[in-house]
Chains A and B, each alone.
Chain A
Amino acid sequence: MNRITLNVLVVDDEQGMTSGAERCLRRFIAKDENIKDEISFAVSTASSGKEALDFLEKNNVDIMLLDYKLPDMNGIEILEKVSDKKILTIVITAFASLDVAITATKKGAFDFLAKPFTPEELRNSVRKAATSIYSMRMLKILEEEKKSIRFEFISVLAHELKSPISAVEGYLKLIDERIKGNDVSAYDTMIKRSIERLNSMRKLIIDIIDLTKLESNRKVRNIERINLAQSVKSIIDGFENQAKERNIKIITDIKDVFINADAGDIEMLVSNMVSNGIKYNKDGGEVKIIVDSEGEFTKLIFSDTGIGIKQEDLDKLFKEFVRIKNEQTRTIEGSGLGLSIVKKIVDFYDGKINIESEFGKGTSFTLYLKSKPPCD
Chain B
Amino acid sequence: MSKKKILIVDDDTDMIEQTKAYLESIGYSVFEAYSQKEAEELIEQGEFDAAVVDLMLENPDSGFVLSSKIKKKFPQKPVIMITSVGKETGIFFDKRNDTGNWIKADVVIQKDLRFEQLEKELEKLLEKK
Tell me if chain B binds chain A.
yes
Shortest Cβ distance from A195 into chain B, in angstroms?
12
**Residues 209-267 of A contacting B (Cβ, < 8 Å):** none
A354 at interface, CB cutoff 8 A: no
- Given A166-B112, A325-B58, A326-B58, decide whether A331 and B13 contact each other with a Cβ distance below 8 A: yes
Do A171 and B25 contact each other (CB < 8 Å), given the known contacts A325-B58, A327-B35, A331-B13? no
By the criterion CB–CB under 8 Å, are A330 and B18 in contact? Answer: no
Instruction: Point out the residues of chain B lying under 8 angstroms from A180, CB to CB.
Output: 21, 24-25
Distance between B52 CB and nearest chain A CB, rounded to angstroms: 16
Judging by beta carbons under 8 Å apart, are B14 and A167 in contact?
Answer: yes
Is B31 close to A, CB under 8 A?
no
Within the complex, which residue of B18, B38, B58 is in contact with A174, where a contact is CB–CB below 8 Å? B18
Interfacial residues of chain B within 1-43, with CB under 8 A of chain A in the complex: 11, 13-15, 17-18, 21-22, 24-25, 34-35, 37-38
CB–CB B112/A189 < 8 A: no
Q: Does A190 interact with chain B (Cβ within 8 Å)?
A: yes
> Is A197's CB under 8 angstroms from B14's CB?
yes
Q: Does A179 contact B (CB under 8 A)?
A: yes
Given contacts A190-B17, A193-B17, contact A327 B34 (CB under 8 A): yes
A170 within 8 A of partner (CB): yes
Query: When the two chains form their complex, are residues B34 and A330 in contact, meaning their CB atoms are under 8 A apart?
Result: yes
B37 and A327 within 8 A (CB): yes
Neighbouring B residues of A193 by C-beta, 8 Å: 13-14, 17
Q: In the bound complex, how far is the Cα of B40 from the Cα of A269, in angstroms?
A: 41
Cα A189 to Cα B14 in complex, Å, equals 10
Decide yes or no: A327 and B38 within 8 Å by CB, A180-B21, A190-B21 being known contacts: yes
What residue in chain A is nearest B88 (Cβ atoms)?
A159
List A contacts of B34 (CB < 8 A).
327, 330
Q: Which residues of A contact B13 (CB under 8 A)?
A: 193, 330-331
| Contact bitstring A159-194, B, C-beta under 8 A = 1, else 0 | 000000011001100100001100000000110010
Are A179 and B37 interface neighbours, CB within 8 A? Answer: no
Complex alpha-carbon distance, A190 and B58, angstroms: 25
Of chain B, the residue at the smallest CB distance from A166 is: B112
Q: Which residue of B lies closest to A331 (CB)?
A: B13
Beta-carbon nearest neighbor of A327 in chain B: B35
Asked if A179 contacts B22 (CB within 8 A), the reply is yes
- Of all chain B residues, the one with the shortest Cβ separation from A326 is B58
Rounded to whole angstroms, the CA-CA distance of A171 and B58 in the bound complex is 25
How many angstroms between the C-alpha atoms of A325 and B18 in the bound complex? 21
CB distance from B27 to the nearest CB of A (A): 12
With beta carbons under 8 angstroms apart, the residue of A179, A197, A327 that contacts B21 is A179
Contact A171–B18 (Cβ < 8 Å): yes
A182 to chain B, nearest CB (A): 13
- Taking the closest CB of chain A, its distance from the CB of B119, in whole angstroms, is 12
CA distance A179 to B11 in the complex (A): 22
A179–B25 touching, CB < 8 Å: yes
Interface centre among B15, B18, B22, B34 (most CB of A within 10 A): B18
Complexed CA–CA distance, A325 and B62 (Å): 14
Task: Offer 20 A-B interface pairs, CB within 8 angstroms, sorted by A.
Answer: A166-B112, A167-B14, A167-B18, A170-B15, A171-B17, A171-B18, A174-B18, A174-B22, A180-B21, A190-B17, A190-B18, A193-B13, A193-B14, A193-B17, A197-B14, A325-B11, A326-B35, A327-B34, A327-B35, A330-B34
User: Chain B interface (Cβ within 8 Å of chain A)?
Assistant: 11, 13-15, 17-18, 21-22, 24-25, 34-35, 37-38, 58, 112
A-to-B contact residues, CB < 8 Å: 166-167, 170-171, 174, 179-180, 189-190, 193, 197, 325-327, 330-331
In the A-B complex, the 7 residue pairs with the closest CB atoms: A167-B14, A179-B25, A170-B18, A179-B21, A174-B21, A327-B35, A330-B34
Query: A167-B14, A197-B14 known; 13 other A-B pairs, CB under 8 Å?
Result: A166-B112, A170-B14, A171-B14, A179-B22, A179-B25, A180-B21, A190-B17, A193-B17, A327-B35, A327-B38, A330-B13, A330-B34, A330-B35
